[in-house]
Amino acid sequence: MAPDVKQGRRVTAWLGVACLGLLPVSFLSAQEPQLRATLKGHTNAVVAVTFSPDGMTLASASYDGTLKLWDMTTGKERATLGEYRGCLGCVAFSPDGKTLASGTIGSPGYFPDLMDVKLWDVPTGKVRTTLTGDTFHVHSVTFSPDGRTLASLNGDVKLWDLASNKERATLPGHTTEDLETSEPAYGVRSVAFSPDGKTLAAAAHDRTVKVWDVATAKRSTLQGHTHAVYGVAFSSDGKTLASASGDKTVKLWDLATSKERASPHGHTESVMSVAFCADGKTLASASRDKTVKFWDVVTGKERATLAGTEAVWSVAFSPDGLLFASAGGTIANAPGELKVWDIATGR
């Protein structure tokens, strides 16, 4: 008997299992998200993961030097986009889903493309444009919501005009590394645009988060972490910023006041990445303690924990909130972990 599929629901067949009538997540139920598939193909740690705007494709970046695209309908690898001679550390889709940006964060030796941001044509898998900077390693990339600007982080934040493929501005801010931290400087730093594109946030090893007004370049600084800050993410309404740190905490910041609103605790090792669900009510955090935790944004309380076998470096929700991806692995020549989860829903 055919299911009654209401507006806002979808039917997805994956790996021979029918997942019927799931509503976009409004909150996580007491039941933990269920593992849907483990995606195999990378030969080293997977350190960045992101969904396409339509949620049909997952992109992953690995220390094995490859970008992979995964079909979320079948759960199969759809393409491998070239190979870098360095360790890939960041990946981002453009708002229209037609372009993918990537950058490297390290290499055993010197190679010219360590300074480059590559823009890939998603349908063909070919490099469309290369944006060349003047410093080594690109730790993070993100597109503005209108798709006209790319921000890349390599110590300072560079803004690229994608109409001309020229650097438009440099936003300095992170000049002193956190020399007291015992955390290895893997370069898992982060840059993010607010949903309206008017604000940019960046995190680095100086234990702070810098927040800029994109139009004026006016900067404010969020202070409170006691070790390097590795990840930042905006809520869907742009009012809250989340940060992840080597001090084993997540912090939630009220951007209207630049004040810390909550500091969820629970991880036992560095927190490397944070991601909001689309409704802004749930935050996910990835940690080197081999877990992913889900937090209630309003109360700051933990909702669920996913346990793995390797350090977790990156997390992402699909745009509709139905799927969740986690990526990780050891920094060694061993296959990384890339998992996709069905998010439990409640009413």
Strand partners, 153: 140, 157
From 143-157, 273-287, 330-344, the region with the lowest mean pLDDT: 330-344
- Give the pLDDT mean for 281-300: 95
Range of the domain at 86: 28-342
Q: Which of 8-17, 114-123, 126-135 holds the top average pLDDT?
A: 114-123
Q: What are the DSSP calls for 178-240, one per residue? A: -TT--S------EEEE-TTSSEEEEE-TTSEEEEEETTT--EEEEE--SS-EEEEEE-TTSSE
**pLDDT averaged over the chain?**
82
Sheet with 250-254, strands from edge to edge, namely 229-234, 240-245, 250-254, 259-262
| Domain assignment of residue 13, yes or no | no
How far is it, in rounded angstroms, from Cα 25 to Cα 29?
10
CB 179 within 8 Å of CB 154: no
Q: Which residue has 């690229």 as its token pair?
A: 160
Residue 5 has a pLDDT of 35
Residue 320 has a pLDDT of 93
* Cα-Cα end-to-end distance for the chain: 25
Determine whether 86 is exposed, middle or buried from the number of CB atoms within 10 Å of its CB (0-12, 13-18, 19+).
buried
How far is it, in rounded angstroms, from Cα 304 to Cα 83?
36
With 90 as the cut, is the pLDDT of residue 30 above it? no
Residue 184 has a pLDDT of 47
Look at residues 189, 178, 158, 159 and name the one whose alpha carbon lies nearest to residue 89.
189
- Read off the DSSP letter of residue 271: E
Residue 84 has a pLDDT of 62
| Domain assignment of residue 90, yes or no | yes
- Give the pLDDT mean for 154-161: 85
Look at residues 37, 121, 41, 36 and name the one whose alpha carbon lies nearest to residue 77.
41
With 60 as the cut, is the pLDDT of residue 22 above it? no
Look at residues 343, 204, 197 and name the one whose alpha carbon lies nearest to residue 284.
343
CB 105 within 8 Å of CB 62: no
Residue 146 has a pLDDT of 98
How far is it, in rounded angstroms, from Cα 335 to Cα 100?
23
CB 199 within 8 Å of CB 193: yes
With 50 as the cut, is the pLDDT of residue 179 above it? no
- Give the pLDDT mean for 220-241: 94
Residue 53 has a pLDDT of 98
| Domain assignment of residue 105, yes or no | yes
| Domain assignment of residue 134, yes or no | yes
Split at pLDDT 50, 70, 90, the class of 6 is very low
| Domain assignment of residue 8, yes or no | no
Residue 143 has a pLDDT of 98
With 80 as the cut, is the pLDDT of residue 7 above it? no
Number of domains within the chain: 1
What pTM did the predictor assign? 0.85
How many CB atoms sit inside 10 A of residue 256's CB?
8
- Give the pLDDT mean for 233-247: 96
The encoded tokens of residue 243 equal 């940060």
- Give the pLDDT mean for 263-279: 95
Higher-confidence residue of 213 and 181: namely 213
Residue 346 has a pLDDT of 37
Look at residues 135, 139, 165 and name the one whose alpha carbon lies nearest to residue 150.
165
| Domain assignment of residue 9, yes or no | no
- Read off the DSSP letter of residue 255: T
Residue 336 has a pLDDT of 87
With 60 as the cut, is the pLDDT of residue 55 above it? yes
**How many CA atoms within 13 Å lie on the side-chain side of 96?**
9
| Domain assignment of residue 308, yes or no | yes
Split at pLDDT 50, 70, 90, the class of 309 is confident
With 60 as the cut, is the pLDDT of residue 9 above it? no
Look at residues 131, 197, 115 and name the one whose alpha carbon lies nearest to residue 164.
131
- Give the pLDDT mean for 265-284: 95
Write out pLDDT tens, residues 316-345. Answer: 999 999 999 999 998 666 788 899 999 864
- What CATH number does residue 307 fall under? 2.130.10.10
With 50 as the cut, is the pLDDT of residue 153 above it? yes
Residue 86 has a pLDDT of 57
The backbone torsions φ and ψ at residue 156, rounded to the nearest 5 degrees and listed phi first, read -105, 165
Looking at this protein, which amino acid is placed at residue 200? L
Higher-confidence residue of 290 and 135: namely 290
| Domain assignment of residue 65, yes or no | yes
How far is it, in rounded angstroms, from Cα 272 to Cα 326?
12
Look at residues 293, 288, 224 and name the one whose alpha carbon lies nearest to residue 32.
293
Split at pLDDT 50, 70, 90, the class of 212 is very high
